[in-house]
Amino acid sequence: MQLNNWLNRYDPGLNRVRDASKSILAMALVALISAPWLGLVATVMGSLSAFFICLSHEGITPRQQLVSMGYAAISFALCVFLGVLLRPTPWMAQGVLIILCFVAFYLRRYGPRFVIAPVFAAITYLLVIMLPPLGPMTLPQMMLAVVLAVVVAIGLHFVVWRPSGIRTFQQQLWSLLSRYQVLVTGLRQCCEQPRLNADQCFALKALVNETEAHFRQLYAHLGRYAYNQAHQAALHDWVQCQYTTFKTLQMAWESILQLARQQAQYAPERRQALIAVLQCWYDALSSLSLQQRVALQELALDSTQLQAVTQAFTQVIFSPDAHVTAYFVYWSNITFACQRMIEKLHDVVQQSNRCRSIRREALQ
């Protein structure tokens, strides 16, 4: 369970776990099958090819992924063929390597499908022309190893461990909520402690940066998961909704930190009210797993904790000596965030449902 939580925090949707496991498994399988028959060099090249092909599955639908893997397989076969053929003439082999390097990076202009695979193909070519010992006689063995690599990689990707596409994207979005959960826990700890803990602040800052990076990835790959224009717009709205939720949390974080620095004015009962609201957020976020997210409705209705914070704000604003000071606005920010947070989580759930219905229509 703990491992699962850790993986979900660092790899939302478990995309990278799946990719890493598949490529290692492919490499091991090719090595096991080819070692007794094809010799050391062919085995090494076959294993590497399987490893690279497994990582070259760019695309949303299985068909697009198959095409990407097909391109990768053809380029690997071509590079191995060229490498074995040109190896006896070093100047020519090295000249072709330079051209291949240019082509590998130039091809990026044709989209994400041509980002990793061409560089891997150029690396394969480099290894073929430089690894000892190899002669033209080994060409059939090398080609056989590449064919085996293609069969194993495609088999693993499409038969044994099928790609999940849009489901992975959804998982990524939902797992953002577990990051928010960690952030809320950090905020609560900040409130509970009498003094600000520098390490804790640093860890929270790192988490905020990680989450920003996560959003970068989501925005970058949005188009890959859409079935049509309407679906893409809906996915975009969903990510936007999550982003706004994150920004609200960030604002609450900044205001809580600022308040914590003003120890003298930070009354214990207000602090307690805030801790209670944060606990409420935490519970709401805990219930937002894919299976249980309906429970949010019930949690959001329990607004007694929110009233306590609003009450604290009322005391601040209606006290006779109230001025529009920093303390005043931080409390206003926190109160605002407290009132909006659950509402925003509702929006997240609604956007998810909208995406699902558009997708269903697109598939029918």
State the residues that interact with other proteins by CB under 8 A. 10-11, 16-17, 19-21, 23-24, 27-28, 40, 51, 55, 94, 97-99, 101-109, 119, 122-123, 126-127, 130-131, 212-213, 215-217, 219, 236, 240, 243-244, 247-248, 250-251, 254, 310-311, 313-314, 317-318, 322-324, 328-329, 332-333, 335-336, 339-340
Helical packing angle, 139-155 and 40-55, nearest 10°: 30
- d(CA 134, CA 150) in angstroms, rounded, equals 22
Nearer to other proteins, 237 or 283 (CB): 237
Nearer to other proteins, 100 or 287 (CB): 100
SS3 content of the chain, % helix, strand, coil (to 5): 85, 0, 15
CB of 226 to other proteins, least distance (A): 15
Nearer to other proteins, 107 or 278 (CB): 107
Query: Which phi and psi angles does 200 have, rounded to 5°?
Result: -65, -40
b/e map 135-163, b = 16+ CB within 10 Å: eeebbebbbebbebbbebbbebbeeeeeb
Nearer to other proteins, 74 or 98 (CB): 98
The candidate with the shortest Cα–Cα distance to 50, out of 141, 124, 138, 111, is 124
CB of 98 to other proteins, least distance (A): 5
Question: Contact, 168 vs 15, CB < 8 A?
Answer: yes
CB of 194 to other proteins, least distance (A): 27
Nearer to other proteins, 73 or 104 (CB): 104
| CA angle centred on 221, ends 204 and 153, rounded to 5° | 110
DSSP assignment of 58-80 equals: --SSHHHHHHHHHHHHHHHHHHH
Structure tokens at 331: 């409390």
Nearer to other proteins, 178 or 286 (CB): 178
- d(CA 200, CA 333) in angstroms, rounded, equals 22
- d(CA 23, CA 49) in angstroms, rounded, equals 10
CB of 363 to other proteins, least distance (A): 26
CB of 1 to other proteins, least distance (A): 20
CB of 290 to other proteins, least distance (A): 23
CB of 192 to other proteins, least distance (A): 24
CB of 310 to other proteins, least distance (A): 6
Nearer to other proteins, 83 or 186 (CB): 83
Nearer to other proteins, 275 or 316 (CB): 316
Longest dimension (CA), the chain: 94
